[in-house]
């Protein structure tokens, strides 16, 4: 009972924080900008805790999981399948709505954000799995090599038999301390979210500017939203219900802090502490499964990003008067899935890996200029669906492991 009351209070405070941030940023952009420091402090706290959290979570969970092969395989299969479904929905939506019709394409320079990445390819994604220097990976927020190393250490510790008791005790205590700090940070969520939203809308020039920005490219903007809506509110909840018989609305409520944080931070990695707390403590997914599946999901499972990559690339083609069809659509389907897997879980990473998809069908990088202005906003919607997809994955895999 006490938990329900405090959950209600926190949720209420978060909603008020988000709404107030929206109002301040929209009506008084110059005031909104002043709250940058509030949002930044909150974000930095999340980022500070997330790397130790991932390393300890994954190592501990692998030490405790009896059959990693089965858990790992189910997780990878589930993530790939749902990402592929998301891309498919994106392709259908953009082909049906055809938002690129009648646009004048932007020509000119390659946008700054992808400068130096023009030659990125699928091979870069594969080579980012293992790192020769884990410290530099950590410093650069490259999470996948950290997960791989944690899995290897987890397996090795697990094989040491009774000798590993000391390490098990050590990691268990560190984990408890990390989760305690996570709870302190969660307490600050309403203020942090207020700061992040007030600043971001303020920096965009306020509500009317924002509206102006969206209206210039509204058909594309709404195509992405329609795709995300279908995937997030129809497909994923149906999967949740079929595999776990859980009530999707209740699950959504359990996940609410994480989802609002994903929207406010545009980073699945920064949201991870809240995702883990919501999934394991509120939705009661087992720690053993959740602590492995969620960090991996935040890193490689990006349904929203995959869907968006497909929509964006086909939209860019349409605006050049090119109608991608047949094999080209299959190529977009495959490369968008890979580009989403390879995207870092930080703001606008999907825009960077889009280079791979554009290249695969021979479209010019300059096309990105067309979607750049609204990307930071769409990023928030797709990150929310990314986190929602990860958390549903945790519940489904937990159930599959039990059965
Ligand atoms: N910001 C997204 C995330 O962290 C990645 C992206 O699509 O840019 O999940």
What is the tens place of the pLDDT at every residue in 344-373? 889 999 988 999 999 889 888 888 888 888
> Other C-beta atoms within 10 Å of 14: how many?
23
> From the CB of 305, is ligand 1 less than 6 Å away?
yes
Q: Which atom of ligand 1 is nearest to the CA of 340?
A: 7
Cα–Cα nearest to 153, from 44, 56, 268: 56
How far apart CA 217 and CA 311 sit, in angstroms, is 13
Q: Which atom of ligand 1 is nearest to the CA of 387?
A: 9
Is the distance from CB of 375 to CB of 348 less than 8 angstroms?
yes
How far apart CA 130 and CA 268 sit, in angstroms, is 20
Tell me which CATH code domain 68-170+216-402 carries. 1.10.3860.10
- The DSSP-derived string for 207-230 is HHHHHHHHHHTHHHHHHHHHHHHH
Choose which residue among 143, 304, 377, 383 to substitute to test ligand 1 binding: the one with the highest number of ligand atoms within 8 A of its C-beta: 383
Residue corresponding to tokens 């999901």: 297
Residue with CA at minimum distance from ligand 1 atom 7: 350
pLDDT band (50, 70, 90) for residue 158: confident
How far apart CA 337 and CA 309 sit, in angstroms, is 9
> From the CB of 382, is ligand 1 less than 6 Å away?
yes
pLDDT at residue 302, rounded to an integer: 95
pLDDT at residue 231, rounded to an integer: 98
Is the distance from CB of 159 to CB of 54 less than 8 angstroms?
no
Choose which residue among 344, 351, 388 to substitute to test ligand 1 binding: the one with the highest number of ligand atoms within 8 A of its C-beta: 344
What spacing in Å lies between the alpha carbon of 165 and ligand 1's midpoint? 38
Residue 307 pLDDT > 90: yes
Cα dist. 382→197, 231, 299, 346 in Å?
A: 16, 11, 14, 12
Q: Which atom of ligand 1 is nearest to the CA of 304?
A: 7
- Structural tokens at position 261: 């944080």
Is the distance from CB of 157 to CB of 167 less than 8 angstroms?
yes
pLDDT band (50, 70, 90) for residue 214: confident
pLDDT (average), residues 195-216: 88
> Which of 7-21, 78-92, 133-147 tops mean pLDDT?
78-92
Taking only Cα atoms into account, the Rg of the chain, rounded to an integer number of angstroms, comes to 21
As a whole-number percent, the residues of the chain with pLDDT over 70 amount to: 97
pLDDT (average), residues 240-257: 96
pLDDT at residue 31, rounded to an integer: 94
pLDDT at residue 19, rounded to an integer: 93
**Residue ranges of the domains in the chain?**
68-170+216-402
Over residues 44-61, the pLDDT tens digits come to 999 999 999 999 999 999
pLDDT band (50, 70, 90) for residue 3: low
Q: Using DSSP, state whether 104 is helix, strand or coil.
A: coil
Please give the mean pLDDT across all residues of the chain.
90
Residue 258 pLDDT > 90: yes
pLDDT (average), residues 183-193: 93
pLDDT band (50, 70, 90) for residue 309: very high
Over residues 217-228, the pLDDT tens digits come to 899 999 999 999
- Structural tokens at position 116: 């130096």
pLDDT at residue 215, rounded to an integer: 85
Residue corresponding to tokens 């946008």: 111
- Structural tokens at position 4: 């329900």
What spacing in Å lies between the alpha carbon of 77 and ligand 1's midpoint? 21
How far apart CA 354 and CA 340 sit, in angstroms, is 8
pTM of the predicted structure, to 2 decimals: 0.92
pLDDT (average), residues 362-388: 91
Instruction: Look at the chain and count its residues.
Output: 403
As a whole-number percent, the residues of the chain with pLDDT over 90 amount to: 68
pLDDT at residue 277, rounded to an integer: 96
Lowest mean pLDDT among 110-114, 126-130, 353-357: 110-114
pLDDT at residue 106, rounded to an integer: 59
pLDDT band (50, 70, 90) for residue 254: very high
pLDDT at residue 105, rounded to an integer: 58
> From the CB of 288, is ligand 1 less than 6 Å away?
no
pLDDT (average), residues 136-141: 89
What spacing in Å lies between the alpha carbon of 157 and ligand 1's midpoint? 33
How far apart CA 290 and CA 308 sit, in angstroms, is 26
What spacing in Å lies between the alpha carbon of 49 and ligand 1's midpoint? 19
Torsion of CA 216, 366, 335, 275, to 10 degrees: -50
Residue corresponding to tokens 């609305």: 249
Is the distance from CB of 331 to CB of 360 less than 8 angstroms?
yes
Torsion of CA 210, 357, 139, 134, to 10 degrees: 160
Is the distance from CB of 62 to CB of 71 less than 8 angstroms?
no
> Which of 157-161, 306-310, 340-344 tops mean pLDDT?
306-310
Residue 5 pLDDT > 60: no
> From the CB of 350, is ligand 1 less than 6 Å away?
yes
């Amino acid at each position: 009972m006490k938990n329900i009351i405090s959950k209600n209070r926190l949720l209420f405070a978060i909603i008020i924080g988000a709404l107030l941030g929206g109002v301040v940023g929209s009506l008084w952009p110059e005031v909104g900008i002043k709250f940058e420091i509030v949002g930044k402090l909150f974000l930095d706290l999340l980022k500070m805790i997330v790397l130790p959290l991932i390393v300890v979570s994954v190592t501990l969970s692998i030490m405790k999981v009896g059959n990693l092969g089965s858990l790992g395989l189910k997780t990878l299969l589930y993530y790939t399948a749902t990402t592929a479904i998301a891309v498919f929905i994106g392709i259908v939506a953009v082909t049906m709505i055809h938002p690129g019709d009648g646009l004048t394409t932007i020509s000119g320079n390659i946008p700054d954000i992808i400068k130096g990445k023009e030659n990125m390819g699928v091979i870069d994604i594969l080579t980012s799995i293992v790192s020769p220097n884990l410290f530099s990976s950590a410093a650069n927020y490259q999470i996948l090599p950290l997960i791989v190393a944690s899995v290897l250490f987890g397996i090795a510790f697990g094989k040491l038999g009774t000798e590993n008791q000391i390490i098990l005790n050590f990691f268990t205590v560190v984990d408890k301390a990390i989760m305690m700090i996570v709870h302190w940070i969660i307490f600050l969520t309403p203020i942090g979210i207020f700061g992040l939203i007030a600043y971001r809308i303020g920096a965009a020039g306020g509500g009317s500017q924002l509206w102006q920005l969206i209206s210039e490219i509204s058909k594309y903007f709404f195509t992405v939203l329609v795709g995300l809506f279908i995937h997030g509110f129809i497909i994923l909840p149906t999967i949740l219900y079929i595999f776990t018989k859980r009530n999707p609305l209740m699950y959504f409520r359990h996940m609410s802090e994480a989802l609002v944080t994903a929207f406010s931070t545009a980073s699945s990695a920064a949201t991870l502490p809240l995702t883990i707390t919501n999934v394991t403590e509120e939705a009661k997914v087992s720690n053993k499964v959740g602590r492995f599946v969620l960090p991996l999901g935040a890193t490689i499972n990006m349904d929203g990003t995959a869907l968006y990559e497909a929509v964006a690339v086909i939209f860019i083609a349409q605006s050049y008067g090119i109608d991608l069809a047949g094999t080209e659509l299959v190529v977009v389907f495959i490369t968008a899935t890979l580009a989403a897997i390879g995207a870092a879980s930080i703001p606008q990473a999907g825009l960077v890996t889009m280079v791979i998809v554009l290249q695969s069908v021979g479209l010019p990088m300059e096309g990105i200029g067309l979607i750049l202005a609204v990307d930071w906003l769409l990023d928030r919607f797709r990150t929310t669906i990314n986190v929602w997809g990860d958390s549903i994955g945790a519940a489904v895999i937990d159930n599959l492991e039990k059965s």
